Each structure stands twice: as C-alpha cells, then as structure tokens.
Amino acid sequence: MKNESVVLYCQEGSSDKEYHAELKQEGEGWIVNFAYGKRGGPLKTGCKTCDPLPYEKAKKSYDSLVKSKKGKGYKPNEGETSSINTVGEEKVDSGIRPQLLNELTEEEAIKFIHDDSYCMQEKYDGERRMISIGKDHITGVNKKGLVVALSKEVVEECEKITIPHVLDGEDMGNVTMIFDNILIGNIPYQLRYRLLQEYLFENNILKIVKTAWTTETKQIMFNRLKNERAEGVVFKNIHALYSAGRPASGGDQFKCKFYETASCVVESVSSVKSSIGLKVYDELGECVSVGNATVYANSPKLYVGDVVEVKYLYYNEGGSLYQPILLKVRDDVDMDECTLAKLKRKKDVE
C-alpha cells in the first residue's frame, strides 16, 4: 500500500484544464483529494472522501475518480503515464463532446423571447444522447463523451439513414428527441435544423424537437410548457455554429428551468426509513449534508457514492433542500460536479 497521485489534462477548443487526484494515507486510514482548474492557474481543491477510509475502499474511490476523468477526455501529458491501473471493462472515449448551456432565470428569458436571433425549444428531462452514424458504425455517446449502448429500436432507425450524421438529442427511453447534427456544426443552427427536418421527417423514434421561431410562437410555447409543468425551455442563437463544452459565461444557447434540480452524492442509505442522505461539496471541496430524500419502491437500488438527480423547491442556507424528490441516478455526472454553489437559495426563487 502506497500513496498514489496523477495529473491529467484536457484541451477542448479554447478550454485547457488540468485535474489532480491523490490517494494519501492519513492516520490509520486513507483519503482521496482532488484539485482542478485552468492549466497553469490557481486550482480549486477538494476531498472526495471526507473521512479516512480503509485502504481498499479509498483505492476503489481513487481509481473510479481517475477513470471517470479519463473517460471525459482527460489524459496525462505526452510521455507521462497515469498511476492508475484499471481493471475490467474500459469506458471508451468517443471523442465527441456536447454543447452545454448556461442558465437563465424566467425574468431573463423574456429578452430571448423577444429576440428574433433566438429560437426556442422544450427542455426535456431525459439523458443527453449523441448518435454517431457512419458507413460501418452506429454509436451512442453520453454527456461525458463516453460510448454507451443504444436501444434496438434506435439502431434500426439509424440503419435507415444513408448519410453520415452525429445527431444530438435527449434519450427519453422509448424515443430520442433530436435537436442538432454536430457533423454539420460549421453552419448556422437554423440551417442545421432545416436539414434535420429533411432527414428525419415524421420519424417517431428519432423525433425532431418542435421549435418556435417568432416572438408570438415562443410566448405561446413558453406559457403552455410552464402550465404543463414541463422542465423548462432552451433558447438557441439561430446564426451560431456548434461549439462543444460550456462557456464560462454567456454563449449562444441557454436553458431556463421551471423547477429546480440538483445533482447530489448519496451520503447514506437507510433501509429502515427507505430514504437516502444527500451531500454536495463546498468551494473548499468539503462535504456538506443537504438533507434526505425518500426512496420509493420503484426506484433503482442505490449505494453510497452514487450521484443522483433530485427535484426541489430551494436550498435553506446552512440547512437542507426543501421538499427534495428523487428523480434518477446520474451515471454521466461526476461527484466533483455536485457543488453547493449550484444550489438555488430561497431568496433566489422568491
């Protein structure tokens, strides 16, 4: 048993980041630390295991952390080697990355409803799914850029498409809602959407997201979706090219949610009360407990360390999430993405 550490780097477009992970003995136990930020700049630090663990558990946590980062495109510098030896099936990096959106309030959304440079679509509450279609392959890709399985129905529909595509959409289970084609990301979004309509006309498996283009139709759709308690809406610059990753601020695409959701880490599992304890990480990387959520009979089996998505009304500063509802397990979100800063406070929703 020995201390281990690794430094990984990821460069995508104008983004150049580094990530440090460390397995370190502390007293009679072991902890896992991490640090991340822009390459060469000041790094934010944190602790994945807040309390010392037996070596085997800490080592498993460390291996999982490094493996997940490598799955998202992080690599050692050329000539360097990673300290991790993965066991079992490797997650395959597709090399494809989705365009991620910054968030708007409902008040801020009014500007985009009245801006003819932006169209509007419903925001679906599924799993981000990109589908690469080529002459000899049909490949599913998740939010992290990792290769994932596709349903038989989706594969059969993709086999009917004779021209290469990299479709971008939301997997809703029995249907995939399609809103973009990354392969032609070097042309304006409005044209990309029009071409999608030609290729996927009246397709009930690969279904094109309905889009509102004018102020009047955007306002009607916005009001309808809010009344229907939909997750929210997305605004897209109709003149913009496809840009992978999430900009530090601004951007060409934005989301406006009608209710709050958060990614949290399962801190504890109670079989007696059928509930789970939830935690996130503060700016120093320390664990912060944010209350409990009920686990219903039809929920999947949950384990400590799982990342889950919950719906809630607001966060009580220094307390708990108010009325959290468990939505699903998130295998496309890492633990260090579950941060206190992302939670909406009561004052923000009043």
pLDDT digits (tens, 9 = 90+) for 248-283: 888 999 999 998 899 999 999 987 778 999 999 988
Q: Which fold has domain 4-71?
A: q64v53_bacfr protein fold (2.20.140)
CA distance 312 to 309: 10
Kindly indicate the confidence band of residue 78, based on its pLDDT and cuts at 50, 70 and 90.
Answer: low
CATH superfamily, domain 260-349, is Nucleic acid-binding proteins (2.40.50.140)
Average pLDDT estimate for 302-323: 89
Q: What is the dihedral of CA 209, 214, 220, 224, to 10 degrees?
A: 20
Q: Which of 247, 249, 208, 246 is nearest to 122 (CA)?
A: 208
Q: Which fold has domain 125-208?
A: D-amino Acid Aminotransferase; Chain A, domain 1 (3.30.470)
Mean pLDDT (the chain, rounded):
87
Q: Which of 218, 227, 196, 222 is nearest to 209 (CA)?
A: 196
Q: Where in the chain is the domain with CATH 2.40.50.140?
A: 260-349
Average pLDDT estimate for 314-336: 88
Q: Who's near 274: CB < 8 A, 6+ residues apart?
A: 294, 295, 296
Average pLDDT estimate for 209-229: 96
pLDDT at 84 exceeding the cut of 70: no
Kindly indicate the confidence band of residue 122, based on its pLDDT and cuts at 50, 70 and 90.
Answer: very high
Kindly indicate the confidence band of residue 86, based on its pLDDT and cuts at 50, 70 and 90.
Answer: very low
Kindly indicate the confidence band of residue 117, based on its pLDDT and cuts at 50, 70 and 90.
Answer: very high
- CA 28 vs CA 31, 54, 63, 64: distances in Å: 10, 8, 20, 22
Q: Where in the chain is the domain with CATH 2.20.140?
A: 4-71
pLDDT at 301: 84
Q: Where in the chain is the domain with CATH 3.30.470.30?
A: 125-208
pTM for this predicted structure: 0.66
Reading the block at residue 221, the tokens are 């759709």
Kindly indicate the confidence band of residue 347, based on its pLDDT and cuts at 50, 70 and 90.
Answer: low
pLDDT at 79: 47
Instruction: State pLDDT tens for residues 161-204.
Output: 999 999 999 999 879 999 999 999 999 999 999 999 998 988 99
pLDDT at 90: 54
CATH class of 101-123+210-256: alpha beta
